[in-house]
Amino acid sequence: MDLLRALPIGLYLEQPRTWLHQLDPRVKLAWLMMFLLTPLLADLPWRMALALGLVFLTVSAAIPLRVWRKQIGWLTLLCILVVGVTALMPDGLAISYQPRLPTHELVFAQDALPTQTFQATPYQYVLFHYGPVRITRRSLELGLRLGSWFFTLIYGTALYLLTTAPEEIAIAIEHLLQPLRRWRFPITEITLTLTLSLRFIPLVLEEIQNLTRSIRTRAINWKKLGIRGVPQLLLLLADRLIENLFLRAEQVASAMTVRGFTSPNNHQVRWHQLKIRTGDWFALALVILICGVRIWVGTLP
């Protein structure tokens, strides 16, 4: 199994270049913050609309199906699992619910009082109850809200990393954090660390993939290892993985030293030139409009 293709986490899609690739990274960062912050304290329709909006952006950008099919499939399965577990858990309201009318009504023949007719409604708070399994409206709503929030959080970040190069992300964050230089914040060092960490994610996946292939080629019989043998083998694999990652980090440091890198301030490389275009202004105005609608909806009684 190729982890770099099965789990495209933190990877940048170079080809084909869609309209999401052409947007300014600062504008795309504003879009990401909008998707991450507006679901807070929001109702279920708003969260579901954001999740559907992410899918619409993916389809409208014509991103190849092979890129996001497995990722969105595993993510949808995770969200369904979260919804199911949350719906089966108690809703947090320790209330014993009783029917509105008594089961057996007393009928007095002598005192015939005028009776009132009540129209039955199909509303039910408990949607499903069988033995210890109980699903209420509140627990189901909590599950849907949590599942949609998980989908928006993970897939929104993955889509941003998929359509934005690590160098563009670093330059955008460095440009936005420029006012902090007045208080002597190491902005350049922070952006350099961010760039290296984003570049290091595929190396981690590659090392895990190499260890997995090495175990398969040795045809290890896990049943014969026993209860003690399996944890010992897993600890050896973890130790080997950490050792390989430290070796990769040392190779990256050696490559930077050979190229004459002394400090971020003296050795800056501009990989990307930031420039706001007409499409960027339109996307930024759309972000402001959506945030305004969220504030207006949140203030409604």
Check residue 254 and give its pLDDT. 84
- Cα 139 to Cα 37: distance, rounded to the nearest angstrom: 23
Q: How confident is the model at residue 219 (pLDDT cuts 50, 70, 90)?
A: confident
Average pLDDT, integer, range 25-46: 88
Average pLDDT, integer, range 238-261: 83
Q: Is residue 293 part of a domain?
A: no
160 or 269: which leads in pLDDT: 160
By the 8 A CB rule, do 193 and 264 touch? no
CA–CA–CA angle 19, 198, 252 (5° rounding): 130
108 or 286: which leads in pLDDT: 286
Sign of CA dihedral 129, 135, 137, 138: positive
pTM attached to this predicted model: 0.72
pLDDT higher than threshold 50 for residue 108 = no
The 10s digit of each residue's pLDDT in 52-95 is: 999 898 888 888 887 777 777 778 888 889 888 888 887 766 55
Q: Is residue 119 part of a domain?
A: no
The 10s digit of each residue's pLDDT in 165-204 is: 877 887 888 888 888 888 888 777 777 777 777 777 778 8
Q: How confident is the model at residue 163 (pLDDT cuts 50, 70, 90)?
A: confident
Residue with tokens 């960490």: 197
24 exposure class (CB count in 10 Å sphere: 0-12, 13-18, 19+) = buried
By the 8 A CB rule, do 124 and 97 touch? no
Q: Is residue 238 part of a domain?
A: yes
Q: Is residue 297 part of a domain?
A: no
pLDDT higher than threshold 50 for residue 226 = yes
Q: Is residue 294 part of a domain?
A: no
208 or 270: which leads in pLDDT: 208
State percent of the chain over pLDDT 90: 3
> Any residues with CB less than 8 A from the CB of 267 and at least 6 apart, and which?
260, 261
Q: How confident is the model at residue 289 (pLDDT cuts 50, 70, 90)?
A: very high
Domain around 13: 3-92+124-282
Q: Which of 147, 151, 162 is nearest to 51 (CA)?
A: 151
Q: Is residue 111 part of a domain?
A: no
Number of domains in the chain: 1
Q: Is residue 205 part of a domain?
A: yes
78 or 257: which leads in pLDDT: 78
Q: Is residue 109 part of a domain?
A: no
